[in-house]
Structure 1
Amino acid sequence: MPLEIVRQDLTKMKVDAIVNPTNTELKMGGGVSGAIFQAAGVDELKQACDNIGGCPVGQAIITNGFRLPSKYIIHTAGPVWKGGSYREAELLKNSYTHSLQLAEKYQCESVAFPLISAGFSGYPKEEALQIAVSTISEFLVNHEMHVYLVVFDKTSFGLSQHLFQSINEYIDENYVEEVEANFSRRIEHFTNEPLLESEIISEEIEVKQSEIIIESSLLHLVEELDESFSERLLRMIDEREMTDVETYKRANIDRRLFSKIRNELGYSPKKKTAIAFAIALQLNVDETNDLLSAAGYTLSHSSIFDVIIKYFIKQGNYNIHQINEALFAFDQTLLGA
């Protein structure tokens, strides 16, 4: 997918370039910067940086990747947080923009960023994340590049606590355990009394009746599937008068995959890909299920992933990057491909 949040060691990313959050003197620091110097080779990278001399705040320079899996290291000096009144937001945005422009200049198809300035520089993590995602996504509207935002662990991730709590409450209210067969065992656990034989038989009948209903619904669904997923998706795109580029950009989908979907009418997507298109098209819950049904999927109350998707749809929030931030925070699969 064009913008992907991953939990990984930045120095092990197999991309064309990784980004080093450096200081204006390009000296080896601690944290992420120190790890990059160590992995690349301290002497080689130090010499390359000394030859360049420095990097103003908000700007970016590039060196060889040396011993890293990446071909290049893009060095950018992010701002130090001083309360927010010293152009910190503008300078942080510039760090991402100039790094991306430099990656494009050197024909990089993939680049991996840490969360710039959110470590020793003290930038508030929530605001740093918002600037990172918004700046990268703005760039990707007009450019084809696979960008990774790499975080080492959840403590370095800046999802809004208010949003996290709101989603968590929605999950508590709407998430339903899928395995209802455990119900009798849970009752026995709390009451220490076995169920009567008549109660067990009644429960078995209810389960069988549910299975019959589900089977009947599936048969009806199969009969109604007169469109493939690709055909239904393309029809919906036309109905909303959207372009192909607009659609796959909003869906956080790689251009090559979208081309494959357009040209292979029998293409069967992953669920996360199908939902990404529903988000791009700004479908409501019923319309989303209509699109998903063409690929054999549906939104369920027994999946935390699905419940989070429903939360954003019902909120009218179709920003796929914000949705992915939330999915990442809850350890769920991200949207796109």
Structure 2
Amino acid sequence: MYKFVYGDIFTQNTNVIVMPANPKPVIGNGIDKEIYKRAGAEELLKARQEIGELKYGEVKVTPAFNYDANYIFHCASPKWIDGKHDEKELLAKCYRDSIELAKQMGSRIIFFPLLSSGMQGFQYDLAKDIAEEVCKDYEEDNSIDIRIFLRKRLSSGNRYDRKSLEFYIETHTYPDNIEEIYKQYLSFMKNMPEDHEISMNAEIMRLQVENKRKEQEQINAVKKKAEKRKNSSAVDYIVYQYCRMQYKSLSDFSFNETDDEFPSFEDLYEKYKERCNLKNDSKVAERCNLNRDTISRAKKATRGISRDTLFALSLGLRLSWEEAEEFFISCDKAIYTDYQLTEAEKRRENVFRFCLKRGVYDIAEINEYLFDSNMLILGNNAVA
């Protein structure tokens, strides 16, 4: 038997919980991180490292240690590319192999999150349909109780949907030398037999290279525009700061950097707070998932404000993309800057950039997506 459950996967007892595992033996965020925390991160990670890397569609088992279950299944669910790389078959394999393994081990209850519906890029409805298609084969099987836990999905209005968000993240997150990596990878593929994972990685890299070229054209246009404009208007200052922070060496730019001509963080904060009809900092903190003390500290020491706090405030105060740029710059930061971030941090910040560009401001909803996608949620409550 099987059923879909809307709720928290961690609130009920089970024999087996299926973890959406990274192919590499590392601790992620969201569901992955929570399972490690409850099981005992050191012991579980050691057991996971003994397994080694997983192929997409592969399932391996470890003890549950301190987690309230008998076993943890580590399942490397596939990424969505274009539907031509056996993605659906691999996802179905994840469910089927996990269920069969649970039965072989004598387990009567198995819990799944909705696999591949987060950062792996499957559309929510497609991921759910594949899960249900597999589970129907066990509808009359009373030896195993299958439960798939669902969380509220992102809205599908005109501004955005889950797939477009995930496509944006995937194609905007890449190393600086992606062209060189892609070229080397194509050479490597010539000497390898046809393989799903290899083909999938190549397709991702191709999209990243294509997107980087487009972005480079935009960057060159910004530079050309900046070279022609020498006054110190706010727009020019934003262009200057963007170029200075993102590209580090810009000796040919000669802008007036007189800070007095530009609004301070506190000025902008009070302006946007009033526009949102929020009477005090406590109301802002509640909307932005921040502590009031965090806002008080930010107003006293703007240069020390974290990027996370700025993103939370930008979303909570309903800023446009241009307003968010100015907000960051008032703290001597650039919204585009990501060269100092890890790949995981870049992916997470791209969620916020996407939402600002599309006017998606519900932090609770964004945080549900981050959690489901094994990313750290936004705001003070992100700290475990």
TM-score scaled to structure 2, two decimals?
0.39
Which structure: larger Rg?
1
Per the normalisation by structure 1, the TM-score is 0.44
